Amino acid sequence: MVEQPASCLSDEEIAELAEGVLLVGQTPRIVTHLAECGPCRRLVSDAVTSATPRRRSEAPPKDVFRLPDVDPARYELGREIARGGMGRILQAWDVRHERQVAMKLVLREARGAAERFTREVRILSRLQHPSIVPLYEAGRFPDDEQFFAMRLVDGGSLEDAIARAGTPRERLALVPHLLAVADALAYAHGQHVVHRDLKPSNVLVGKFGETAGATWPRCR
């Protein structure tokens, strides 16, 4: 039997990983240790396999992170810009700061959307990079609809820019945007965040030449 080092995962950590209460990316030590320790990887795998249906079906613990209540008069909602499986993005007017913003709202019919949305807010709030659209505010309206407001990038998607690039010179001009995306991903990975849905349509190219990751909808 192989003796495990003292730094191995505790029984509690293994149980929480198996139940999804603790995420691997939340603790850098766990990421590093699982990459190096085969016995611990097997213990976690066995714990996931043997998890009982009762434990898997239990409701997750109540998230202590509750989005603050926000007066709906703070924003004037405009047209819908985009829609995904979990939410929709509207153009809105921030009355207090007198500026246009992009606002993401949860689609209530999406199963588990509220919990995933809160998690996305927590992750986005710590990502500070020139090529990641910054989060301005997050909260919930009196009808319990959750939202977050972010910078509105005036431009189009990288997908559209690629489609318009008909010559080698025009395509080469898009290379700086790819480098900016790679730099943003390297930064996010350093924060233990993975996008999982990166594609040209999720990258915005602003009218001033800036590159911005439009959303991080499946970050983890």
Mean pLDDT on 199-220: 73
pLDDT of residue 141: 93
Higher pLDDT, 212 or 112: 212
pLDDT tens, position by position, 42-59: 777 777 666 554 444 444
> CA 159, CA 55: separation in Å to the nearest integer?
43
Is the per-residue pLDDT at 104 higher than 70?
yes
Domain boundaries, the chain: 11-57, 72-151, 155-213
Mean pLDDT on 67-86: 89
With beta carbons less than 8 A apart as the criterion, state whether 56 and 48 touch: no
- Catalytic residue chosen out of the listed positions 94, 160, 183, 197: 197
Compute the C-alpha angle 15/21/26, nearest 5°.
Answer: 105
pLDDT of residue 2: 45
Decide if 183 is catalytic: no
Higher pLDDT, 140 or 212: 140
Is the per-residue pLDDT at 123 higher than 80?
yes
Q: Does domain 72-151 have CATH number 3.30.200.20?
A: yes
Task: Report residue 138 as tokens.
Answer: 């997050």
Mean pLDDT on 202-215: 81
Average pLDDT in the chain: 79
> CA 30, CA 43: separation in Å to the nearest integer?
13
pTM reported for the whole predicted model: 0.63
Is the per-residue pLDDT at 89 higher than 80?
yes
